[in-house]
Amino acid sequence: MSSSLRSYLDTLQAFPATVLANPQQYFSKPGRDFTRHRSLWLERVVWLTISLLKVTLFVELDRFFSTLDTDEASVSKSALVQARKKLLPKFFEDMFTQSYQAFYAAFVAKRWKGFRLWATDGTGFRLPNETWLGKAFGWHENQHNTVPSARLLMCYDLYNAIITRAKFHTRKVAESVVALKAINEIATDVLMVYDRGFAGHIIPFLHQHFGSNCVIRIPVGFSNTVKSFVKSGKQQTIITERLQYKARKTLLEMGIAVDTQTTITYRLIRIILSTGETEVLLTTLLDKKRFRWVHFAEIYRLRWGIETCFFVIKSYFELANFSTYTTNNCWQDIYSHFILYNIQTVLSLPLQPQIKRINARRKFDYQANRNVSAGLLKRFLIKFFLSARETFKEHYASYCRQILQSLEPLRPGKNKERRRRLMRGTERHIHEPSYRRAL
Count the neighbouring beta carbons within 10 Å of the beta carbon of residue 238.
10
pLDDT tens digits, residue range 355-400?
999 999 998 899 999 999 999 998 999 999 999 999 999 999 999 9
Cα separation, 170 vs 174, whole angstroms: 8
For the stretch 209-236, pLDDT in tens is 999 999 999 999 999 999 999 999 999 9
What one-letter code names the amino acid at 92? F
Q: How confident is the model at residue 425, as a pLDDT?
A: 47
DSSP class of residue 416 equals P
Four-residue CA torsion sign, 415, 361, 351, 406:
positive
Cβ neighbours of residue 372 under 8 Å, at least 6 residues apart? 402, 403, 406
Extended beta strands in 37-145, E state: 116-126, 139-141
Per the rule left: phi > 0, alpha: psi between -120 and 50, beta: everything else, 413 is left
Mean pLDDT of the chain: 91
Can you give the pLDDT at residue 346?
Answer: 97
- Within 10 angstroms of residue 24's Cβ, the number of other Cβ atoms is 8
Rounded distance between C-alpha atoms, residue 150 and residue 11, angstroms: 30
Q: What is the pLDDT of residue 432?
A: 52
What is the share, in percent, of the chain residues with pLDDT greater than 90? 83
Among the listed residues 149, 154, 195, the one whose alpha carbon sits nearest the alpha carbon of residue 171: 149
- Total-model pTM: 0.93
Distance CA 280, CA 268 (A): 7
Task: Report helix angle 77-85 to 42-50, nearest 10.
Answer: 100
Rg (Cα) of the chain, in Å, rounded? 24
pLDDT digits (tens, 9 = 90+) for 287-334: 999 999 999 999 999 999 999 999 999 999 999 999 999 999 999 999
**18-56 residue pLDDT tens:** 988 888 899 999 988 998 888 999 999 999 999 999 999
- Cβ proximity of 293 and 236 under 8 Å: yes
Domain limits, the chain: 3-91+325-409, 106-305
**pLDDT value of position 434:** 52
Are the C-beta atoms of residues 102 and 4 closer than 8 Å to each other?
no
Q: Where are the beta strands (DSSP E) in 68-205?
A: 116-126, 139-141, 146-157, 162-169, 190-194
- Inter-axis angle of helices 42-50 and 3-20, nearest 10: 130
